[in-house]
Amino acid sequence: MTSVSQVYVVDDDEGARESLAALLGSTGHEVKAFPSGVEFLEALEPDWPGCVILDVRMPVLSGLQVQEKLVERKCKLPVIIVTGHGDLPIAVKAMKAGAIDFIEKPFEEEVILESIKNALAIGERVHEENTIEADLKRRIEQLTPREHEVLVQVAMGHPNKVVAYELGISPRTVEIHRARVIEKMNARNLSHLVRLAIRAGLLPDDV
């Protein structure tokens, strides 16, 4: 499994790229370096943890354009933008688009390391959140269509008799489905089951 301390460095300047990779490697980070945004996006996997450092000025795809591609892919990797002198408007635009920080070249080692530390902390939380969401989705997919209906009805606060009437089945059948739903969803109790359903977005908007 890829470490949550993974840092992806994307910079077309070979010297700058290798220098930053060496610095990060010496401080215990795992580093993957890419000479272009195109190569980074081609290699990117949806579940990559860590954070990414994007240089603003790169050919073909700028750092800002790479960031836009990440947003399009719903990739939640924390982004640090590296800018040159006079690129403040671009940096501000990147921050508005979701970048967590921007660093101006030339930067002090302490500055970039502190920024990466913060980004990795955010990245770890995001990775944990994604893992939880994926597990919840997997559990829901294990439900039969009828169990899914019972889950929604129960999560809406309907008692067994109402669920039975709504679905055209007996209260005893509802009880059986409800027990199976709780087991498959790995819910500790009814309130936990309701929270899981809400988190998964299964309840109608008007509930």
Residue 1: inside a domain, yes or no? no
In this structure, the answer to whether residues 105 and 124 fall within a common structural domain is yes
In this structure, the answer to whether residues 41 and 56 fall within a common structural domain is yes
Domain boundary (112, 135, 158) is at 135
Number of structural domains in the chain: 2
In this structure, the answer to whether residues 149 and 98 fall within a common structural domain is no
Could you tell me the residue range of the domain that residue 16 belongs to? Answer: 6-135
Residue 68: inside a domain, yes or no? yes
CA distance 159 to 190: 12
What CATH number is associated with residue 48? 3.40.50.2300
- The residue-averaged pLDDT of 160-189 equals 94
Residue 112: inside a domain, yes or no? yes
CA distance 147 to 205: 20
pLDDT confidence band for 93 (50 / 70 / 90): confident
Tokens of 119: 């980004």
Question: pLDDT by residue (tens digit) across 3-56?
Answer: 667 999 999 999 999 999 999 999 989 999 999 999 999 999 888 889 999 999
Question: pLDDT by residue (tens digit) across 46-89?
Answer: 888 899 999 998 999 999 999 999 999 988 899 999 987 667 78
In this structure, the answer to whether residues 163 and 108 fall within a common structural domain is no
In this structure, the answer to whether residues 110 and 160 fall within a common structural domain is no
Residue 25: inside a domain, yes or no? yes
pLDDT confidence band for 193 (50 / 70 / 90): very high
Is residue 207 scored above 60 in pLDDT?
no
DSSP E strands, the chain: 6-10, 30-34, 51-55, 79-83, 101-104
Domain boundary (94, 114, 135) is at 135
Residue 59: phi and psi, rounded to 5, are -70, 160
The pTM (predicted TM-score) of the whole model is 0.71
In this structure, the answer to whether residues 82 and 174 fall within a common structural domain is no
Is residue 116 scored above 90 in pLDDT?
yes
